[in-house]
Amino acid sequence: MGELLLRYIPPIAAWLLVVSWRNQDDAIRRLWLGLAVSLTVLTPAAQTAMSGFTGGYNLARLLGHAGMVLVAWSAHDFLAHLNGLRRSRWSKWWTAGMFALMCVLFNLNPSLIPQAPWVFEYWMTYLLTLTPAFGNVMRLGLRFARITSDRALRAGLHMVVVGTALATVYLANRVVRIGASRFDYPYPLGYVFWVSAVLPNAAHALVILGAATPAVAGWWRRYRQYTRLRPLWLLLVTADPSIALNPRVGWWNMRLRVYRRVIEIRDGLLDTA
């Protein structure tokens, strides 16, 4: 049961964030989408289903890795934006070239069995594709966390940094583990449950929590503003019900709710002036 929760709760949480995200930041939207796709296709149920459709080809693994490449570089782009930087041209070429190489190596041996030819090269390429993005996410995340006055954002960045570090350790461990199968040297640590299963899921959970913390804190802050305005709003609406706008706005869109409540209060104050 515990392993099932580790496998399926993160993708469900990621899809909820994809559906509920209303911010216009494209990098964050790409991050959520990539994370949701990656976590979903790498669940045992999705891998079994896709294996049946593709005749045993482990296409789910490639799609999952493609999603993680999108997550890593989207997080990099967002943190670069927070720090007033732009993504360099070399990183775009690096990402495109390395992922193309991943696709070539996958096509050479799509089963990705550790002992098979080209699998070690595939995982090494995957690690090298993500390492620059992961390194910059940790560097830029810590850099902005030191200067921001927003406590929720600071806490979220620290969680993202820790999650990214765990993901890097997991990938490096996976490469060493596959290398042990390829080059026949002992590496028992690679098969320990907390390294092979708990570590990647903890990384995913920390990244999700870290990215969601500022948004949740912002929603809660706007909700408190919304409720504090209610007594004045209620008095004005009782005096002039026509100032109340159409209330059909979801509770997840608290920014619009606060905005509309302020407009209604201003309309009521103008009518009573």
Q: Which domains does the chain carry?
A: 2-218 (1.20.1070), 229-272 (no CATH)
Report helix, strand and coil shares of the chain as percent, to nearest 5.
80, 0, 20
Angstrom distance (rounded) from CA 187 to CA 169: 15
Tell me what pLDDT residue 222 has.
92
The per-residue pLDDT of the chain, averaged, comes to 84
Q: What is the pTM of this model?
A: 0.80
How confident is the model over 171-203, as pLDDT tens digits?
A: 999 999 988 888 888 888 777 777 777 888 888
CB contact at 8 A, 120 and 179:
yes
In 3-state terms, what secondary structure has residue 141?
helix
Question: Taking the mean position of all CA atoms in its chain, how far away is CA 213?
Answer: 12
Question: Taking the mean position of all CA atoms in its chain, how far away is CA 232?
Answer: 40
70: left (phi over 0), alpha (psi -120 to 50) or beta: alpha
Profile the chain (273 residues) by mean pLDDT over runs of 10 residues.
65 78 70 84 78 68 89 87 80 90 87 78 94 93 93 93 93 90 82 78 85 87 93 89 76 84 89 67
